[in-house]
Amino acid sequence: QSALTQPRSVSGSPGQSVTISCTGTSSDVGNSNFVSWYQHLPGKAPKLIIYDVTTRPSGVPDRFSGSKSGNTASLTISGLQDEDEADYYCCSYAGSYTWVFGGGTKVTVL
Amino acid sequence: QVTLRESGPALVKPTQTLTLTCTFSGFSLSTTKMCVSWIRQPPGKALEWLARIDWDDDKHYNTSLKTRLTISKDTSKNQVVLTMTNMDPVDTATYYCARYTVTSEGFDYWGQGTLVTVSS
């Protein structure tokens, strides 16, 4: 299983929108409705922010949204805030009860 | 409140076997659809899913590491144990345990991780 491909970094000013892509293959992202996204601050436990491609867990602000087209999933942060500065990871079910993560994207709030 | 905490040695020598324990609270691994996974992250690299154990004791492993991994649970102690044999410096990583629920299909709670360095 190869890691899913994410941009190393994205940036935006407060209030702007940023989108993080997560590209896999027809064996994982393209064939799965079980794509999830995680926010990771240094020294803290990763936090689930999107599951089942588009669903936000309770308590996650609605400025976080997920989507998928073909082999690429995306996370959009609308109305970027300072506290959104973190690393973000995608994850997809890869079949046969295995999972694969993306390489991570650092979001910088300018 | 769901919490998970990883524990184990910070340093292991090459060829040794690593044993990590995940102690959790706020849920039971005997509850249907509850699972616990192990995930690791080498310094500066991507997260890598390692293994999962389910409420019914089904076990699933990363295909590439399957021969080296064993996951087990002690439901009475609320613990999940991962062993990894024949450790190598490339296995140096922060190791996380995380809860996975089949209903949400995501790793919804994570521990803070434990750094394991493999060096002689």
Task: Give per-residue pLDDT as tens, B4-22.
Answer: 999 999 999 999 999 999 9
First to last CA, chain A: 35
| Per-residue model confidence (pLDDT) at position B102 | 86
CA–CA gap between residue A105 and residue A22 (Å, rounded)? 9
A50-74 mean pLDDT: 96
A75-81 mean pLDDT: 96
Q: For residue B16, what is the DSSP state?
A: P
User: Which residue on chain B is closest to A44 by alpha carbon?
Assistant: B112
Q: What percentage of residues in chain B have a pLDDT greater than 90?
A: 93
Asked if residue B73 has pLDDT above 80, the reply is yes
| Per-residue model confidence (pLDDT) at position B104 | 78
Asked if residue A26 has pLDDT above 80, the reply is yes
Interface test with A, best of B22, B57, B105 (most A CBs within 10 A): B105
Residue A78, min C-alpha distance to chain B (Å):
22
At residue A1 the predicted structure's pLDDT band, cuts being 50, 70 and 90, is: low
CA–CA gap between residue B58 and residue B53 (Å, rounded)? 6
| Per-residue model confidence (pLDDT) at position B103 | 81
Residues in A whose CB is inside 8 Å of some CB of B read: 1, 3, 33-34, 36, 38, 43-48, 50-52, 55, 57, 89, 91, 93, 96-104
Residue B56, min C-alpha distance to chain A (Å):
14
